[in-house]
Amino acid sequence: MRILGIDPGIAIVGFGFVDKQGSKVIPVQYGCIQTEAHTPEEERLLHVYEGMKQLIEKYKPDAVALEKLFFNRNVTTAMTVSQARGVLVLAAVQSGLPVAEYTPMQVKQAIVGYGKAEKQQVQEMVRMFLKLQAVPKPDDVADALAVAICHAHSYTLNSKLNEVLRR
């Protein structure tokens, strides 16, 4: 199963493709889609959407996992990032892909085992888990890979639970 993890944003969208093979999670490709500051918002959203569509077509994931947005201060930023998240979900759904969402706390719990882990702990665990030479940069990329790993673990658990419940 190939999973696309996404850390939504308007300036930087982190993405990470991983393959779930048995109990292993193997990195396939990761990086980010960036938009230029001071570019009209609608152009930035189009760039994010088209970039994601191209990645989906090239790497053909079976599922998409996104980090749920959490903002406690800047409403303007929240609205802009929400719009970017919307075009990312649209790209996935138009491609016929199921979309799962995870809170930052769920991702941290899945990666580190502690829902209030520090960002650096999560990034280092992503590096170790995927056997990478270095922590992926920018931070949004490591976050996207963490979401993909979280989904790989959650999907396996949910599949087993559903199997038991069907009996």
Task: Give catalytic status of residue 139 as yes or no.
Answer: no
Determine which one of 19, 124, 140, 163 is catalytic.
140
Distance of CA 68 to the CA centre of its chain: 9
62 carries a ligand binding annotation: no
Task: Give catalytic status of residue 67 as yes or no.
Answer: yes
139 carries a ligand binding annotation: no
- Measured CA to CA in angstroms, residue 108 lies from 18, 37, 63, 84, 123 at distances of 18, 30, 20, 23, 10
Cα–Cα distance measured from residue 3 to residue 19, given in angstroms and rounded to the nearest whole number: 6
Cα–Cα distance measured from residue 68 to residue 126, given in angstroms and rounded to the nearest whole number: 19
67 carries a ligand binding annotation: yes
Task: Give catalytic status of residue 7 as yes or no.
Answer: yes
Q: Is the peptide bond before 138 cis (omega within 30 degrees of 0)?
A: yes
Closest to 6 measured CA to CA, from 101, 119, 115, 123: 101
Determine which one of 19, 67, 143, 163 is catalytic.
67
Q: What is the DSSP letter of 68?
A: P
Active site residues: 7, 67, 140
Residue ranges of the binding site for Mg(2+): 7, 67, 140
